[in-house]
Amino acid sequence: MKLTQRPRRNRKNQQIRDLTAETHLLPQHLIYPVFVCEGSNVESPIKTLAGQSRWSPDLLSKKVAQWKKLGLTHFALFPQISEDKKNSRGTEALNDNGLLPNTIKRLKDDHADICLITDVALDPFSSDGHDGIVENGRILNDESVEILAEMSLKQAEWGTDWVAPSDMMDGRIGAIRKKLDQTGYTETNILAYTAKYASSFYGPFRDALQSAPKFGDKKTYQMDPRNIKEAVREAKLDLSEGADMIMVKPGLPYLDVIARLKRISDVPVAAYNVSGEYAMIKAAAAAGALDENRAILEVMTSFRRAGSDAILTYFAPQVAELLRQ
């Protein structure tokens, strides 16, 4: 065969494959979502998330010291709030002596070199299990945004580096940015859950926080999985309102959305490799259906290839260890 182009030449050995690789994955690209619980010296394994636990702040601080050695410096905190502290307006989210502020303070005191991301939504604190205020079976938008802005201000006061609104209420990015700027927190970043879809892949996460909705579903505020133009619309709004990073959630079923938003965004784009995606790989590996480590690295690379600048993943310590090896 008289071929001038033989693409296989660039694949013939590992050294050439590394030289010509188009996509690279580093620990700096990873954000580790961690679950926090009340108490001292508490580790509570999560049944539906093999290898993941809820940690009391003291033990979490010790774990962070270990994860830092792998190159992980970004952590997203998700508090498990006891049922007796929940109410219809999620007022525990504003408690200066609550689990979240105590965790932020402990981690920042022990590890000044890490970056913390805190979730802004009512569902972990709400007796209704929804991301906003509920009235007569409806999730109220504007009233919820007022509370979300107050939550963001509190989290900034407590010392978080990023507030991450995951609620999908209209206008909340602008309201949060305005609230933060007016009170002097101009350097607090906003990570917007821009395209958060009404997905079937959130089950283990809701189990970990015991935050499933008490009625109905979240389809009136989370996005329709059939839509991508709507994601572009949401991204343009979040960017115009002051988001410092935008995110697509879940990750694997929405690689096309990540790629689309990357093309229009002038800020970094993140992907959330959610709990259901994690659980699927763990279950398949346990059944002997695939090589877990190879599958994880392939998935992480797919996020980077699609355009993700950052990846929230429960695999973060495992990936970082594989990269070190």
CA distance 262 to 259: 5
- Torsional class of 41: left (φ above 0), alpha (ψ -120 to 50), beta (otherwise): left
196 is catalytic: yes
- Residues linked to residue 191 through DSSP beta bridges, in sequence order: 245
The residues, ordered by sequence, that sit 6+ positions from 130 with a Cβ below 8 Å of its Cβ are 122, 123, 139, 213, 214, 218
Tell whether residue 298 is among the known ligand binding residues: no
Of the residues 179, 196, 218, 282, only one is catalytic, namely 196
The Cα–Cα gap between 46 and 50 comes to 7
Neighbours of 182 (CB within 10 A): 10
Query: Any idea which residue has 């008289």 for tokens?
Result: 2
Which residue out of 86, 154, 179, 249 is catalytically annotated?
A: 249
- 154 counts as catalytic: no
Say whether 83 sits in a helix, a strand or coil: helix
Residues annotated in a binding site for Mg(2+): 234
Catalytically active residues, by annotation:
196, 249
